């Protein structure tokens, strides 16, 4: 089976958690599954920008990205964060190949049209998963940072949740899992919703029950499900050990997002 696992930047800050995630992914591969990791790095990028004297600004969960911020994102996400993940998997004996969306034209981007303008923030315009297939055939794990090359020759910062959905859709993945620093999607009562249907999301958004970074995540869940991805789950990173059981067993952690 094919898994796409999206890993957020917060989990990358905890070595013991990263070790557990690496082991779970290595176990999946050992069981014969194909796994791709898509990662963000917002925490690390914000720290780097702060050291550069730049203040980070977000609109609807998306980072406003001028040229200097974009260049920093390329350095942090496609560089240090990506290679740290490759090294972490290597410690588990699992070969991994780190790429960004510009490598091999796996992902092509276009500027995201928003008001106000977000700068070098893009959305996926085209995909070519042949390089991912080649990495899988070699028994390795593709580790994809959320930067993609536009048709205009510019790199664009892509929301990692959107990149994960695009990866799952392009590879016809069986499962898309978002490993996060929250226990799941919380309802109006503050409790984690174990199941969430797509038709419930607009009302939760209207009531401001969900906001900020959860908005692009749930949009990504919707895109993946409507494109045929069978299972989509938002899972706390601390529960990564259940990844090998996600398809075959009942998992109570996190939120399962469903079409209906």
CATH of the domain at 12: 3.40.1160.10
The answer to whether residues 44 and 90 touch, using CB atoms and an 8 Å cutoff, is no
Q: Looking at the 3D structure of the chain, how many domains does it have?
A: 1
- Which pLDDT score is estimated for 107? 96
The DSSP secondary structure of 42-91, one letter per residue, reads: HHHHHHHHHHTT----EETTEE-B-HHHHHHHHHIIIIIIHHHHHHHHHH
Residue 80 annotated as binding? no
Write out pLDDT tens, residues 212-258.
788 889 999 999 999 999 999 999 998 888 887 777 667 788 999 99
Residue 41 annotated as binding? yes
Sequence-separated (6 or more) residues with CB below 8 Å from residue 115: none
Residue 63 annotated as binding? yes
The angle subtended at Cα 59 by Cα 58 and Cα 65, nearest 5°, is 55
Query: In a structure prediction context, what are the per-residue pLDDT tens digits for the chain, which is 260 residues long?
Result: 999 999 986 778 888 888 899 999 999 999 999 999 999 898 999 999 999 999 999 988 789 999 999 999 999 999 999 999 999 999 999 999 999 999 999 999 999 999 999 999 999 999 999 999 999 999 999 999 999 999 999 999 999 999 999 999 999 999 999 999 888 999 989 899 999 999 999 989 888 888 878 888 999 999 999 999 999 999 999 888 888 777 766 778 899 999 98
Write out pLDDT tens, residues 94-116.
999 999 999 999 999 999 999 99
- Which pLDDT score is estimated for 174? 94
Tokens representing 125 are 């315009």
- Which pLDDT score is estimated for 242? 86
Sequence-separated (6 or more) residues with CB below 8 Å from residue 126: 107, 108
Residue 157 annotated as binding? yes
H-helix segments, 95-152: 130-137
* Structural domain boundaries enclosing 154: 2-258
- Which pLDDT score is estimated for 13? 81
| pTM of the entire predicted model | 0.93
- Strands of 2-7's sheet, edge to edge? 96-100, 141-145, 34-39, 2-7, 175-180, 231-236, 255-258, 195-197
- Which pLDDT score is estimated for 64? 94
């Amino acid at each position: 089976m094919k898994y796409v696992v999206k890993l957020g930047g917060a989990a990358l800050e905890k070595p013991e958690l990263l070790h557990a995630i690496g082991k779970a992914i290595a176990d999946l591969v050992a069981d014969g599954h194909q796994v791709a990791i898509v990662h963000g790095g917002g925490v690390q990028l914000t720290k780097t920008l702060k050291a550069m004297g730049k203040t980070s600004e977000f609109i609807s969960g998306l980072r406003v990205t001028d040229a200097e911020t974009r260049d920093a994102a390329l350095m942090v996400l496609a560089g240090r964060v990506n290679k740290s993940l490759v090294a972490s998997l290597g410690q588990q004996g699992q070969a991994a190949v780190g790429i960004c969306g510009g490598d091999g034209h796996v992902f092509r981007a276009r500027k995201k049209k928003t008001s106000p303008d977000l700068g070098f923030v893009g959305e996926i315009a085209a995909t070519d998963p042949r390089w991912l297939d080649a990495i899988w055939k070699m028994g390795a794990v593709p580790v994809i940072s959320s930067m993609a090359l536009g048709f205009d020759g510019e790199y664009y910062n892509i929301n990692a949740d959107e990149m994960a959905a695009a990866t799952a859709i392009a590879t016809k993945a069986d499962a898309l899992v978002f490993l996060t620093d929250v226990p799941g999607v919380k309802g109006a009562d503050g409790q984690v919703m174990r199941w969430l249907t797509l038709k419930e999301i607009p009302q939760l958004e209207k009531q401001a029950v969900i906001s900020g970074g959860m908005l692009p995540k749930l949009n990504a869940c919707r895109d993946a499900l409507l494109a045929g991805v069978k299972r989509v789950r938002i899972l706390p990173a601390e529960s990564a050990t259940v990844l090998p059981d996600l398809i075959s067993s009942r998992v109570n952690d996190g939120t399962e997002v469903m079409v209906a």
